[in-house]
Amino acid sequence: MEIFGVDIGGSGIKGAPVDLDRGELAQERHKVLTPHPATPEGVAGCVAEVVDAFSWKGPVGVTFPGVVTHGITRSAANVDQGWIGLDAASLLSSRLGGRKVTVLNDADAAGIAEITYGAGRDVSGTVILLTLGTGIGSAVFRDGLLVPNTELGHLELKGHDAETRASVKAKEDEDLSWPHWARRLEKYLAHVEMLFSPDLFILGGGVSRKPEKFVPLIEGVRAEIVPAKLQNDAGIVGAAMAARDLAG
């Protein structure tokens, strides 16, 4: 079974049809740059461009970098503030010619993909997936069940929003070395562990392709730390899963 998934990120918007029997992209993904400012209309146009690149006509799942409840986007940390309180599902459906559209938090999408097909599969207890990119997204699971919209990237860390200190964007903006950035990430993980006592951390986002650069440098965290198996495709896969589930 194939369903289309789109992952809206702070720097890029990417999507592809997903083979949900295997939990893999059915075709090579298509990516466009996220517009700046990332207004609803601008982003919706980019989502349509990605979907139309495949001439896709069926339902579409779309991730969003913020809180989403019943298709309404409730926060907008790394996109335009015009998203707050917007019926994003209706906007995107309209731009996609009336196709059924499911919208969910980006980290939640990556998390459900990793729990189903990837590093969290068959893991009991508390599992926390963190997507490291423009910000830090989070997905918290207890025995495979998702607690949605946790937004742990906005925990306070040394008087700052955690993602402004420990995201990949912070590493790039401040030109931090891998060891320096790993120390910041270590402090963040220790703080999350103090609050939730997870059995497993899964680290996702594009940086999950290079775990050897930073994971071995993290010390003092009791939970096991592993990279996301689906790497940066996890959000696309999870978006497609959500669209399938809504369509029934």
Which pLDDT score is estimated for 158?
84
- As a whole number of angstroms, the distance between CA 13 and CA 190 comes to 31
pLDDT at 69 over 90: yes
Mean pLDDT of 31-42: 97
Percentage of the chain lying above the pLDDT 90 cut: 95
Mean pLDDT of 115-125: 97
- As a whole number of angstroms, the distance between CA 214 and CA 218 comes to 7
Q: What is the largest CA-CA distance in the chain?
A: 51
Which pLDDT score is estimated for 248?
62
pLDDT at 218 over 80: yes
H or E element at residue 189: helix 178-196
Residues making up the chain, counted from first to last: 248
Which pLDDT score is estimated for 116?
98
pLDDT at 122 over 80: yes
Q: Does pTM top 0.85 for this prediction?
A: yes
Q: Is the dihedral of CA 107, 112, 113, 114 positive or negative?
A: positive
* Residue 55 confidence class, pLDDT cut points 50, 70, 90: very high
H or E element at residue 183: helix 178-196
| Strand ranges, E, within 123-239 | 126-132, 136-142, 145-147, 156-157, 160-161, 200-204, 224-227
Query: 160 Cβ partners below 8 Å, 6+ apart?
Result: none
- As a whole number of angstroms, the distance between CA 104 and CA 112 comes to 11
